Amino acid sequence: MPIEESKPVVLIIDDSEDVHRLLRIRLKHESVTLVSSLSGKDGLIQAKAVRPSVILLDLDMPGLDGFGVLRQLKEDGDLANVPVIVLSGMEQAADKVAAFDLGATDYVTKPFEFAELRARLRSTLRLDRLLRLLAERAEVDGLTGLNNRAAFNRRWQAEVDANHRLGRALTLAMMDIDHFKKVNDTYGHPAGDEVLASFASIVRGQIRSTDIACRFGGEEIALIMTQTTPEEAIVVCERVRASLAATVWPRHPSHTVTVSIGYAGSHAASPLVDTTAWLEAADKALYNAKHGGRNRVVAGQLATKPLQIAA
């Protein structure tokens, strides 16, 4: 079914066809495009395909229930920020608390008043749209306060261009929190958000004023170190790694959170290394840090491409 680009997409995940039919009737005058899914598993597939503005989610479903859907949504970097309104016949306070801890935006108990649901849906859509606009214009990630991915793309291109043109030293580091999924699964998403926000604060406190920290996606932070050689970069990276490992967390004081870091840098101009290849080198170093035992800093090697000589 084609999606109307001018309207926000609302994805309904509920195993009851009656609920889908009622929602389509009651929401037909709303300026939204409705997409339906009758199972949690299919709902996740649909969410990836249509990137909805809001999800209306039932909790009590066979197979993958609503709690499982919420967990997987929040673990997906592309879908983690999609607002979820729970529509459920489960009225216990514990169920509501669990849903909110897993990242639900709102909770409406069945049977619900459609006027109230429409008002809650409109409010959620307005807030989501405002947050998206602010993030795009400010180029700031809402949770960590760091530069967002769009800002990274712009600054990284500019710094690589400066390296090619002026021969300035440049190093890129990719930082990924170790076993972050375990924090979310064990202590809940609020604890995971606390770890991300605190990690960002640690990075800001340990880097220099010339460094550019960006939330690259999920629990990963990219650090652009301008006019910085690889030998200088490892000092900065080690400060970040050691500071995070020494942090005591109020929600889980017995659990230590660590980070793996991969970096790749150049002392002078590297005209044969473009932005993507440089990023891939740092990412490969991060992969080696993860598979080498985690909680470590690993250097990467820039791979240059041979010049193509015209015949």
Give the catalytic positions in this structure: 219
Helix axes 66-75, 180-187, angle to 10 degrees: 150
Do residues 238 and 297 touch, judged by C-beta distance below 8 A?
A: yes
- Give the pair of three-digit tokens for residue 67: 């709690």
Say if residues 71 and 79 touch (Cβ distance below 8 Å).
Answer: no
Task: List C-alpha distances in Å: 64 to 15, 39, 110, 195.
Answer: 11, 7, 20, 27
Rounded CA gap, 282 and 292, in Å? 15
Measure CA of the first residue to CA of the last residue in the chain; give whole Å. 51
| Rounded (5°) CA angle 68-176-130 | 65
Pull the structure tokens for residue 298: 């690993």
In angstroms, rounded to a whole number, what is the distance separating the alpha carbons of residues 247 and 61? Answer: 40
Distance CA 39, CA 14 (A): 6
Using left for φ > 0, alpha for ψ between -120 and 50, and beta otherwise, residue 295 falls in left
Residue 111, preceding peptide bond in cis (omega within 30° of 0): yes
Contact in structure between 216 and 283 (CB atoms under 8 Å): no
